[in-house]
Amino acid sequence: MSAAPGVATRVLAAKVLDAVVHNGRSLKAELAKALPQLADSRDRALLEAMCFSALRQRARYDAALRLWLQKPLGAKDGELRALLLAGFAQIDAMGLPAHAALSVTVEAARALGRPHQAGMVNALLRRAQREGFPEADASAAWPAWLRKKINQEWGAHAPAIFEASAHAAPLWLRVNRAKATRDDYVARLQAVGITSVVDVNLPDALRIDMPVAVAALPGFAEGDVSVQDGSAQQVADALQLPPASRVLDACAAPGGKASHLLERDPSLRLLALDVDRRRLNRVKETLARTGVEAELQVADASNLDAWWDDSPFEDKLLDTPCSATGIVRRQPDVLLHRKPEDLVALAALQARLLDAVWKVLRPGGAMLYTTCSILKEENEHQVAAFLSRTPDASVDTLPANYGHPAGHGRQRLPGEQGMDGFFYARICKAN
């Protein structure tokens, strides 16, 4: 790999995007492999920004390639096409100066073993710089079957969903109230030149609208503050936990919600489950950084024999695996990988989890069912089906600041109040 400054980062961006766009790989997994190859944190941030920006604006960049190329790139040109997407992202979505993007991206073509196509890369990037990109409806990035479903289910809201999902989310922070007040942390940010915004509905939250590296956040390593979307932060309020409650977080990774609950009330007796040991290690790291403690166990929450000690829980959080259609702006590869059959499997898993964890809830307790989906079969239809087969279950309606009425729950759509798409339903067990 070339040692020229910036070239290695572009080469890695091309390899990551090729794996994700053309080979069905996970963006998160590919970045996890690529980022350690870059020593400089600025290069790592640049790599992430290129990959996310290219995927979010892929429909526009694909339209440009169709328009500008006399013949389409072949099946063996995946890395080159991916490099062009990264180059377009630098010029367009990221707004990098041409001199900072053009030459190194062209050089990256040579480093990828494509010296004979470096001229074409240069010509296409310069054309993009001169002409800009053709307009493309934001919905074009969505697979046809999913686009149709969003239009059917959300009607007049659908264009805003597509548009919001094509842009980067703001940076939401959660101030650890066990260590500082929100006002104190606002002042700490101001002292280092970072402007933040508070939200009246989120007592621990701050929003930063300009990209900021986590390392630049005062006290992050010490657990004074964490990164967590505003929608996820509302979970702590929706649970309404009495002090010293025995609480189950049934699908806990990466641990942000559990940590938030314990930062607010360390007296909670919280059990955090996750089926994946590596993911549970992330929960352990999150809790350690923020200075809180919980019981951790690797287990499938639906398999009660594997983990439950027959002692009931007062309250529980069930943040289930889902289609992630509410967080496309954070996981843009969802639009490349999600298939209709996935929804069938996910809905079955959600139902199985609901039925299982209901059994461990004491009479009079409450379960908060949440997803980061905007699809009704995972949300309001799932809850309605659960209520129809569970005689001792009823719904405690959440207030309007949790989003749109959605059957027995509330649905926030992507980008509303700057937050992620998220579904909430608070389900109570009869005494």
Q: Are 146 and 335 in contact (CB under 8 A)?
A: yes
pLDDT tens, position by position, 234-262: 999 999 899 999 999 999 999 999 999 99
In this prediction, residues 105-123 reach a mean pLDDT of: 96
Q: Are 21 and 65 in contact (CB under 8 A)?
A: no
| Residue ranges matching CATH 1.10.940.10 in the chain | 7-136
Looking at residue 171, its pLDDT comes to 96
Looking at residue 109, its pLDDT comes to 96
pLDDT tens, position by position, 157-210: 999 999 999 999 999 999 999 999 999 999 999 999 999 999 999 999 999 998
Tokens of 358: 């209901």
- Among 75-79, 325-329, 347-351, 383-387, where is mean pLDDT lowest? 75-79
| Residue ranges matching CATH 3.40.50.150 in the chain | 230-429
| Residue ranges matching CATH 3.30.70.1170 in the chain | 172-212
**CA 185, chain centre distance (Å):** 24
| 199 SS3 class | strand
Q: Give residue 56's pLDDT band: very low, low, confident or very high (50, 70, 90).
A: very high
Tokens of 319: 């943040």
pLDDT tens, position by position, 14-30: 999 999 999 999 999 99
Global confidence as pTM:
0.94
Residue 264 has pLDDT above 70, yes or no: yes
Residue 103's contacts (CB-CB under 8 Å, 6 or more residues apart) are: none
Looking at residue 1, its pLDDT comes to 44
Q: Give me the CATH code for the 172-212 domain, please.
A: 3.30.70.1170
In this prediction, residues 214-224 reach a mean pLDDT of: 94
In this prediction, residues 214-234 reach a mean pLDDT of: 96
Looking at residue 5, its pLDDT comes to 78
Q: Are 163 and 212 in contact (CB under 8 A)?
A: no
Please count the CA atoms within 13 angstroms of the CA of 216 that sit on its side-chain side.
16
In this prediction, residues 90-97 reach a mean pLDDT of: 92
**CATH superfamily for domain 7-136:** NusB-like (1.10.940.10)
> What average pLDDT does the chain have?
95
Q: Are 105 and 83 in contact (CB under 8 A)?
A: yes
In this prediction, residues 126-137 reach a mean pLDDT of: 92
Residue 211 has pLDDT above 90, yes or no: no
Residue 394 has pLDDT above 90, yes or no: yes
Lookup result for tokens 């703001």: 170
Through-space distance between the first and last CA atoms of the chain, rounded to whole angstroms: 66
171-175/202-208 β-pairing: antiparallel
- Tell the CATH topology of 230-429: Rossmann fold (3.40.50)
Q: Give residue 2's pLDDT band: very low, low, confident or very high (50, 70, 90).
A: very low
In this prediction, residues 119-134 reach a mean pLDDT of: 95
Per DSSP, the residues of 7-59 read HHHHHHHHHHHHHHHHH---HHHHHHHHGGG--SHHHHHHHHHHHHHHHHTHH
Question: Looking at the annotation, which residues are catalytic?
Answer: 372
Residue 41 has pLDDT above 60, yes or no: yes
